[in-house]
Structure 1
Amino acid sequence: MAMGVMLVAVVVVAGLLLHAATVAEAQTLRVGYYDQTCNRAESIVFEEVQKAWNADRSMPAALLRLHFHDCFVNGCDGSVLLESGDNQAEKNAPPNQSLRGFEVIDRAKARIEAVCKETVSCADILAYAARDSVRVATGGYEYKVPGGRPDGTVSRASMANSDLPPHKQRNVELLAQYFYRKGLSMDDVVVLSGAHTLGVTRCGTFDYRLMSDQDKGMNATFRNELRRQCGYDANRVVSLDAGSPYGFDTSYYANVLANRTVLESDAALNSPRTVARVRELRAAAPSAFFGSFAVAMGRMGAIRGANPGKVRANCRRVRT
């Protein structure tokens, strides 16, 4: 990590600690939650994320998305990890069927259970894994994440269908309604969308935007590039951040401004309501973007679980 980034990181961490303390007071979350009961928990999670990243550079994006999809349904309670039982679970909802990274959480959980039985929640493991995804993708940027999230006991596909922000949404005000319901802000919409600086998506997710030349929210040259990349094959994949699929950087915001985004929900940010913030993030030093992202993740990660239960011994099943 460059010295400038390191110094900014220290300042941002101090701010995050203050924010985390405020959140903790309301939601019983605190930094260092497992220091006394399972002091290896966070290091084990990082080791598993790093191993996954070494094997697959797209894994940080998958783990960030997994945490996001967890928090927006029932709060940050690990319910997205549960398998279907008497009803269809969240992971079976159409917006979640492309989620990945479950095995990384399983491996971390198994190792933690071997040293600290039924102590560390799956919800916290998922939150730590999302943080560590940023760490490996940036080459070392770190921020504190409080723990203390109880595991949830309810997982319903119907709730995922209604609560997750749709990618087919060009109106940023309507998109923001999904965030407002969770206590988040318009700024959080812009900053958290920056997670799309990582990862890829299937052409079938957005190919309807390539059918004609009438989508004014997509650069015409870029549209033709995507047509060549996709080749009428819905299963091919393209980068969410054109030209930089594995770098956690501000190029995503440059692409928003240039109308070079594949998802309508990303194109929505190039609107009068949000374009000034997009320009600010594009022009900012990488460390400033990292800091804003860390704070927004802290707010999202503090969304209270709606159906708290006990720590699950297996992240895929409710503890009985």
Structure 2
Amino acid sequence: MKIIHRKTIKDSLPLKGIGLHSGKTVTLKLHPAEAGTGLIFFLYRAGQKVRIPISLDHVVDTSNATTIGDGGSNRVQTIEHLLAAVYTLGITDCILEIDSVEVPIMDGSAGPFLDGIRSVGITELKETIEPIRINSPMWVVDGDKYLVMLPSDELKVTYNIDFNHPLLKGQSYTTKLDESILTNDILPARTFGFLKDVEALQARGLALGGSLDNAVVLTDDGYLNESLRFENECVRHKILDLVGDLAVMGRPFYGHLIASKAGHALDISLAKCIMSKVTGDELTHFKSKRIPLFSKREANS
């Protein structure tokens, strides 16, 4: 079985872009971190520095994007594109400083984050990390929407979308998800939306940063964009979102993901289901081997 080492970035990486909803410039800085740090946001807000770890326990909203928070009013939203890039490159430990409540949308894909991280380099740490492997099927269902994970020695996906639009009816895609395929075939796919929905959001003061520069926009019967990066760019972006959402688990994972009309809410629900099962299995494994879960010092403290 391949040993997976924890990784961080070699140098700090400053990134700037527009917030999808605010339309304002966002500054995001990534910094190297020690092994075991995990992925942590530091949000600079009202003169304060707020710490928000990226974990399932800190997911507070999945309505339009994946949002983490500190349990109070401090939140960072639309983290999934950044996390898809971080996951693809195996980054396990990184400090992320941000001066806004939303990660910049960049060009609507995960490509700029991927390219930025590669430009500063990656450091492989001596510490290792255990990947998540399941030994039985797991699934979550919401009406006619579902998301399944089957046991597999590799990561792959079968994804189906079926929107009420002539170009997005029954669009499906099946692929392995190794670093090369994620880099070339998934992460460049841009977020997408419907013109009527964008107009409604902007009337409410939302999606002010959305444009043809950072999204695929659909009219009633076509696209506003002059061209697409892929013929099936929309379903590929849904896979990007899925990988980014599951990356909130904080560990590499293997399995065959089968999705139909899923989204952020189902993605996070499956992640919680997986971690609940995996954690239980690992505790049982430790107990069966009679390995103490705590040192004497920890047990007596």
The TM-score normalised by the length of structure 1 is 0.24
Flag the structure with higher strand content. 2
The TM-score normalised by the length of structure 2 is 0.25
